[in-house]
């Protein structure tokens, strides 16, 4: 018998409760409020009555919010000129900056802060706190907030227009059978749907395919950020101090960098981004981050301190040429889900807010005109492409693609941005999807078994450096254990066959949360893949980096995943 689902009707639905969607919902609510205040009483014009809802898969708004983060405040100021007075959870304004190139034990301080990394006037924030705060402002405006509800299916009308999403069922066991607490997901219908799912959004991916939104674009490329927040002895890093690093522990063929951002209350945010176009099949981004913390520059900051929180997430870094078409019948894409990110500046929060606001403005105009057609929604894209934020990403349009070609071309690109207005060898450098860059183990290391030193293995001391299981504990990640696994491995034969032979199952390394474990039966030598899905921190690295594209990440039962509060 077909499942009976509740139908919830709204005018505007926001899928994903990150800063992009929340800014969009807040701006739209403000625009509607301002419009209604001007409607004369008793006249022919009527007030707009707009129902809005935001769906967030995390248990609370902010629970899946993770970032560095140094925020360029321009767009937030535009949205809310009095954001400081309103109590935005700012850790501190950036007061002190330095950039280092790290060798294994040494450091070279850059005499200047290169302009793209200049954070003067920016703020150190915690994304989890910022999202939590913003959600409260949105709720005060009468927007319905649904935390713990993931959008799992796209809903279309008979013409193929998106008319909303279906939320996930709750109470389904690991075999797909209904449990006693079974609750079917609802169909949330909307006149327009704003997708702000963040990096590598699961529904966004389907929309991109269905509407060919990436036609003629570069493939999306990602970095994975692995980070920890520490409480440290007083006086070592002041709130608002920003330290950016390049070099160790990443080898010259792997792009990425580290950061230390000073927060309030003697806390620091420490992390490392690793570009997922890396070629080394034995690389482990979590392990590289542990090495980073053991470097004297970083260990001297955190020694004697204590780990407070851990998290990881991908960031879309492929830039201007990989921004998909941003609208389609029934909806628009905003924020990281639309690859709106400046990889040279390592900034996405400003673009997320800006895109959310412009989407709101376009939708508001459409609501007033009673026209939410695709051609009306196209105004959002036109407006966004005219913004300073997007013009900035155009100026650095080849940065990531040049870095993929090695450090020399990458650094040339960095300089070329300024000299040739973003042109590096060509106006547009192409790229492959990240999973296509991985080399076979034999190609990278030769046919003899590589030594632990060659791989770069290390031992974790449990004081400064931790294994993945310990770190996951500090992310607060949990999932209902008796539910279908949300990491869909399409073909296990590939895992035990070609993937084991060529790449030694890189999922056990690239996942920063120890979700993938390859167990070997001692007697028979037979391998079996164990999926510790409850550990998953929703970073999406597996969906991006599996060399055979054999893993599909889909949202688990709502409310599962990390429980971030300060990262
Ligand atoms: C380690 C790291 C460091 C960074 N440093 C900086 C920095 O210093 N400065 C800067 O400006 N930017 C930085 N960024 C990028 C910045 O965090 C993002 O650009 C920004 O958070 C994007 O906001 P968003 O709302 O688009 O996406 P997100 O913040 O990812 O929010 C998306 C939300 O949607 C939810 N969601 C996803 N799918 C669904 C679904 N199907 N149903 C319901 N909910 C769903 C998610 O749980 C999440 O809460 C960094 C990112 C990382 C990972």
Find tokens 């905003």 and name the residue: 334
Q: From 13, 352, 389, give the residue whose CB has the most ligand 1 atoms within 8 Å, as the site to mutate.
A: 352
Q: What is the pLDDT of residue 206?
A: 98
Is the predicted pLDDT of residue 408 greater than 80, yes or no? no
Distance 540 CA to ligand 1 centre (A): 12
Is the predicted pLDDT of residue 425 greater than 80, yes or no? no
Find tokens 């998106």 and name the residue: 162
Ligand 1 atom 22: the closest Cα is on which residue? 336
Is the predicted pLDDT of residue 15 greater than 90, yes or no? yes
Atom of ligand 1 nearest to the CA of 337: 26
Q: From 62, 68, 554, give the residue whose CB has the most ligand 1 atoms within 8 Å, as the site to mutate.
A: 68
Q: What is the pLDDT of residue 523?
A: 93
Is the predicted pLDDT of residue 513 greater than 80, yes or no? yes
Q: What is the pLDDT of residue 519?
A: 95
Q: What is the pLDDT of residue 525?
A: 87
Q: Is 56 in the pocket of ligand 1 (CB under 6 A)?
A: yes
Is the predicted pLDDT of residue 405 greater than 80, yes or no? no
CA distance 80 to 76: 6
Burial of 299 (0-12, 13-18, 19+ CB in 10 A): middle
Q: What is the pLDDT of residue 422?
A: 67
Q: What is the pLDDT of residue 426?
A: 75
Among 335, 317, 314, smallest CA distance to 393 is for: 317
Q: What is the pLDDT of residue 507?
A: 98
Is the predicted pLDDT of residue 45 greater than 90, yes or no? no
Which pLDDT band, with edges at 50, 70 and 90, does 172 fall under? Answer: very high
Q: What is the pLDDT of residue 431?
A: 87
User: Looking at residues 428-441, what average pLDDT do you find?
Assistant: 93
Atom of ligand 1 nearest to the CA of 350: 11
546-563: pLDDT as tens digits: 999 999 999 999 999 999
User: Looking at residues 40-63, what average pLDDT do you find?
Assistant: 94
Q: What is the pLDDT of residue 334?
A: 99
Which pLDDT band, with edges at 50, 70 and 90, does 418 fall under? Answer: low
Q: What is the pLDDT of residue 336?
A: 98
Residues with Cβ within 8 Å of 478's Cβ and at least 6 positions away in sequence, in order, are: 534, 560, 561, 563
340-380: pLDDT as tens digits: 999 999 999 999 999 999 999 999 999 999 999 999 999 99
pTM: 0.97
The DSSP code for 219 is: P
Q: Is 198 in the pocket of ligand 1 (CB under 6 A)?
A: yes
Q: Is 256 in the pocket of ligand 1 (CB under 6 A)?
A: no
Distance 198 CA to ligand 1 centre (A): 5
User: Looking at residues 139-168, what average pLDDT do you find?
Assistant: 98
User: Looking at residues 113-129, what average pLDDT do you find?
Assistant: 95
Distance 67 CA to ligand 1 centre (A): 7
User: Looking at residues 148-171, what average pLDDT do you find?
Assistant: 98
CB-based contact 249:295 (threshold 8 Å): yes
Which pLDDT band, with edges at 50, 70 and 90, does 37 fall under? Answer: very high
Q: Is 55 in the pocket of ligand 1 (CB under 6 A)?
A: yes
Distance 192 CA to ligand 1 centre (A): 22
Q: Where does residue 137 fall: left (phi above 0), alpha (psi -120 to 50 degrees), or beta otherwise?
A: alpha
């Amino acid at each position: 018998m077909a499942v009976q689902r509740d139908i919830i009707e709204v005018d505007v639905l926001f899928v994903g409760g990150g800063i992009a969607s929340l800014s969009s919902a807040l701006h739209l609510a403000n625009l509607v409020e301002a419009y209604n205040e001007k409607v004369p009483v008793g006249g022919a014009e009527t007030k707009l009555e707009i129902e809005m809802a935001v769906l967030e898969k995390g248990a609370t708004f902010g629970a899946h919010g993770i970032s560095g983060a140094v925020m360029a405040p321009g767009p937030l100021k535009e949205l809310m000129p009095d954001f400081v007075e309103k109590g935005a959870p700012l850790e501190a304004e950036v007061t002190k900056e330095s950039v280092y190139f790290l060798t294994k034990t040494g450091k070279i301080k850059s005499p200047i802060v290169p302009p793209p990394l200049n954070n003067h006037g920016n703020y150190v924030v915690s994304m989890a706190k910022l999202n939590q705060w913003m959600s409260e402002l949105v709720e005060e405006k009468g927007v319905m907030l649904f935390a713990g509800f993931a959008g799992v299916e796209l809903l279309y009308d008979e013409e193929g227009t998106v008319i909303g999403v279906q939320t996930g069922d709750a109470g389904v066991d690991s075999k797909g059978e209904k449990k006693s607490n079974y609750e079917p997901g609802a169909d949330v219908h909307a006149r327009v749907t704003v997708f702000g799912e963040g990096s590598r959004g699961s529904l966004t991916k389907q929309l991109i395919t269905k509407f060919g939104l990436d036609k003629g674009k570069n493939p999306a490329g990602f970095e994975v950020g692995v980070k920890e927040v520490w409480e440290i002895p007083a006086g070592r890093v002041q709130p608002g101090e920003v330290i950016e690093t390049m070099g160790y522990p990443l080898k010259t063929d792997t792009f990425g960098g580290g950061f230390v951002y000073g927060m309030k209350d003697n806390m620091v945010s420490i992390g490392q981004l690793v570009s997922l176009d890396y070629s080394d099949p034995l690389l482990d981004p979590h392990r590289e981050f542990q090495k980073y913390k053991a470097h004297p520059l970083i260990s001297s900051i955190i020694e004697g301190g204590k780990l407070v929180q851990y998290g990881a997430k991908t960031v879309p870094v492929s830039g201007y040429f990989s921004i998909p078409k941003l609208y389609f019948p029934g909806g628009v894409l905003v924020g990281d889900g639309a690859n709106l990110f400046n990889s040279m500046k390592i900034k996405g929060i400003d673009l997320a807010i800006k895109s959310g606001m412009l989407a709101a403005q376009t939708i508001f105009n459409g609501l007033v005109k009673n026209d939410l057609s695709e051609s009306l929604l196209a105004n959002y894209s036109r407006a966004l492409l005219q913004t300073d934020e997007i013009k900035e990403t155009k100026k650095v349009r080849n940065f990531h693609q040049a870095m993929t070609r090695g450090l020399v071309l990458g650094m040339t690109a960095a300089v070329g941005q300024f000299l040739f207005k973003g042109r590096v060898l060509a106006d547009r450098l192409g790229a492959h999807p990240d999973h296509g860059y991985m080399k076979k183990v034999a190609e990278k290391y030769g046919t003899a078994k590589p030594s632990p030193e060659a791989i770069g293995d290390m031992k974790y001391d449990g004081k400064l450096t931790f294994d993945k299981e310990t770190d996951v504990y500090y992310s607060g990640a949990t999932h209902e254990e008796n539910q279908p696994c949300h990491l869909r491995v399409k073909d296990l034969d590939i895992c035990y066959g070609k993937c084991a032979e060529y790449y030694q199952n890189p999922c056990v390394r690239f996942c920063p949360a120890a979700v993938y474990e390859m167990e070997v039966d001692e007697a028979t030598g037979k391998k079996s893949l164990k999926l510790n899905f409850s550990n998953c921190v929703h970073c999406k690295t597996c969906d991006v980096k599996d060399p055979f594209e054999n893993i599909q990440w889909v949202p688990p039962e709502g409310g599962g995943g990390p429980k971030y509060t300060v990262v």
